[in-house]
Structure 1
Amino acid sequence: MSGDQAELSPAELAERIDSFWFRFREGETELIRKPVREQVEEINEVLDACLDGLALEMSANDGDDPIDMIATAHGAKERFPLLMDFVKRAPPLAHYRLSAFRTRTDEPDFPMRMGNFELATSDILIGHFADEGQVGIEVMFDRELPSDMQDHARNMAFIMLDHVLGEYDFAIKVGAVDFVGGFSGEVVHSTPLHQFGTVLDSFWTGDLGHTGLFPSGEDNWTTLTIAFEGDGEGNHAIVSVNDGANAVAARPDLGHAVELRLPAHDHATLDAARDLQDQIATRLEVQHAGILSHTILRNGERMANYYVGDLPAALELIQGSVRNAFLAEVGLNSEFDPSWARYFEFAG
């Protein structure tokens, strides 16, 4: 996101989104009469003037059905909230069917050409392994490459990964990506790129345990003592990790991390902090609106980290609970963390 756009408030961003869609609706009848290529160029010129980093892509349609139009952030995770809000705020369209994120291709194998050089997905082998909650991959070419096409081939492989896995899954579920001449001992299994989508899904839900299902019954927690540099008082923390939260880690509807810090400098305040934070967790989890992923006790504070989908609603719930408890010394912040980096700093 550009520096100018990053400084805009949510209300100002919403105004820019609404401005774009107003202009789009005004010109929709005239726009649909033009060739698809001209439509794409025209609407993206207007979009770029309103919002930085987003684009609209179209697929040709010879019939009377609406044209499929995909909003993309080109894989930039920091722009995903803007992209999702952009699609959410779109009005009903007469001639277009809008969706967010580039989806997976349904082609079993496909080539890509750059000049006189062609590379197929079957020419690329993918090795995968667990990478701190995500899927790490190693990329190896299963054919000789011209020396002057090495960098081009790597760029083409990234583009093809985006097509095979889809924009969201590639950005959120895949961690480290390394190009190798031979697979390392970390690799669990290797497969041609065009078959990797189903392998990723199986590894994600099976081996990593990200089933997408909210845990039921009693929660299982792991407690860790984390030491920091120095030997003085306060240079350690007690971290409690909700093992059951791993099942819903990185769900698309739980992408916002919310941190609530409460005073916990003696037994009474610690008990009060724990009770309130657990009450908030129960209210979120009963509605499947969020989950308490982990807590940290350090320097007279207890921090609770929740992952939620509807950020404004979650903040309202938390702030209301804090007010009802008549607490003043409270810290509350949030960030978009769709890969659950805060959680996997301690989990697993």
Structure 2
Amino acid sequence: MHATPAAVTAFWREFADTESALHALPLRERVEESNALLERHLEGLALEMSGGDGDAVVDLIVTAHGSIECFPLLMQVVAAAPKQLRHHRVSAFRERTEQPDFPIGMDGFELSTSEVLIALGQDDGQAALEIRFAREIPQDFQDHARNMAFIMIDHVLGEYDFAVKVGAVDFVEESMDPGAEWTPLSLLPPVFDRYWTGVLGRTGEFPTGEHDWDGMTLAFGGADGDAGEPGDEAIVMINRSANPVAMRADLAYALTLDLAVNDGDELDAVRDLQDQAATLLELPQLGILAYTMTRAGRRKAVYYVGDEPMARQVLAPLLLREAAASLEISSTFDPAWSGYFEFAVH
């Protein structure tokens, strides 16, 4: 979901103009009035506040309630927040609760995070969750319990991690893996973090030295009905060394440089150009070359970057000097690195 910069600016201008009046209200009313103001300018987002009625400054959290398509707008709004706000500290996404052991109720039914058990697994590049309950749930409250579990996981893991780092979520009676380790949701955060770094290898650290590349050949247009001309093949090269920084919140955009390669000499020139672009992005850690695909007379290189305008600015002199007229540049918001893990899990 997108909004014009003018709409974002108009929201913050009105919020800043009314900040003193908002601050005079009780916190609950302040949240309601702030969200009414937000809805006049932007869709898909909400505001939450953390603090007390008498606090001089409270935390103003911009949330998309886990809706990934609204994350770019959320980050745009937070980046544009006025620096002169007197009573609010603006932050992006609902963070992990500092007290993960808590109950919630719904229609007379109560469930605690200690009664929700989680087993971790892998779903391509993401973490998969199997969920079961530590006590019997009445049949009439099965749907309630599952909805409540989702709400609690969002608060325990945080909005961004649950939306981006978690893939498949399945409710089970018993795990398909007899050796699965079950963790109460109230104790999950450190277990999840250890799994993320230790098992999946997501240390968050940029690779140094020579990168580890792996390759594969994909066939399209076969008898199974895949799109493409008969005999159409693609050569994909995957940067395995990019795995430690996969899904970092500051590397959420897939920036693609796509060029024509009509012969071997052109292929060498394009490869050199795309490698130079990787160096320009990787030295200041603005981004990393994740994979390349050569298919049907074109070679595309996909870099994951955080600040897309800055990445384009850094690459502009190289592309103006070297690139052919066939150059196509595009970008997509892909915080889960789905493009990369389409190939990297093989």
Coarse TM-score class (shorter-chain normalised): over 0.9
Residue number among 10, 27, 32 corresponding to 1:36 in the alignment: 27
* Aligned-residue offset at 1:228: 1.7
Q: Does 1:100 align with 2:92?
A: yes
* Aligned-residue offset at 1:61: 1.5
3-state SS, counterpart of residue 346 of structure 1: helix
Which one is further off, 310-319 or 244-253?
310-319
3-state SS, counterpart of residue 52 of structure 2: coil
Query: 1-side partners of 2:115 and 2:323: how far apart?
Result: 63
1:71-104 deviation line (CA, Å, top 9, x unaligned): 1010011111111110110102101111111111
Matched with 1:334 is 331
Matched with 1:76 is 67
Distance 1:108-1:310 versus aligned 2 partners, 3 A rule? closer
Q: Does 1:199 align with 2:185?
A: no
- What is the TM-score with the length of structure 2 in the denominator? 0.94
- What is the TM-score with the length of structure 1 in the denominator? 0.94
Q: Does 1:24 align with 2:3?
A: no
Residue number among 143, 161, 173 corresponding to 2:153 in the alignment: 161
Query: 1-side partners of 2:297 and 2:165: how far apart?
Result: 35
Residue number among 198, 201, 210 corresponding to 2:202 in the alignment: 210
Query: 2-side partners of 1:235 and 1:128: how far apart?
Result: 38
Instruction: Check the 8 A contact 1:129/1:186 in 2, yes or no.
Output: no
Query: 2-side partners of 1:185 and 1:88: how far apart?
Result: 44
Letter of the structure 2 residue corresponding to residue 56 of structure 1: L
Matched with 1:313 is 310
Distance 1:134-1:275 versus aligned 2 partners, 3 A rule? same
Matched with 1:126 is 118
Matched with 1:343 is 340
* Aligned-residue offset at 1:33: 0.7
Matched with 1:86 is 77
Letter of the structure 2 residue corresponding to residue 274 of structure 1: R
3-state SS, counterpart of residue 122 of structure 1: helix
Q: Does 1:325 align with 2:291?
A: no
* Aligned-residue offset at 1:29: 1.0
Distance 1:224-1:85 versus aligned 2 partners, 3 A rule? same
Query: 2-side partners of 1:324 and 1:117: how far apart?
Result: 66
| Cα RMSD after superposing both structures | 1.5
Matched with 2:226 is none
Taking only the aligned residue pairs, the percentage that are identical comes to 52
Query: 2-side partners of 1:188 and 1:146: how far apart?
Result: 25
Unmatched tracts of structure 1, length 5 or more: none
Unmatched tracts of structure 2, length 5 or more: 224-228
Query: 1-side partners of 2:178 and 2:42: how far apart?
Result: 41
1:93-141 deviation line (CA, Å, top 9, x unaligned): 1011111111111114111111221100111111110111110011111
Query: 1-side partners of 2:317 and 2:196: how far apart?
Result: 36
Matched with 1:266 is 263
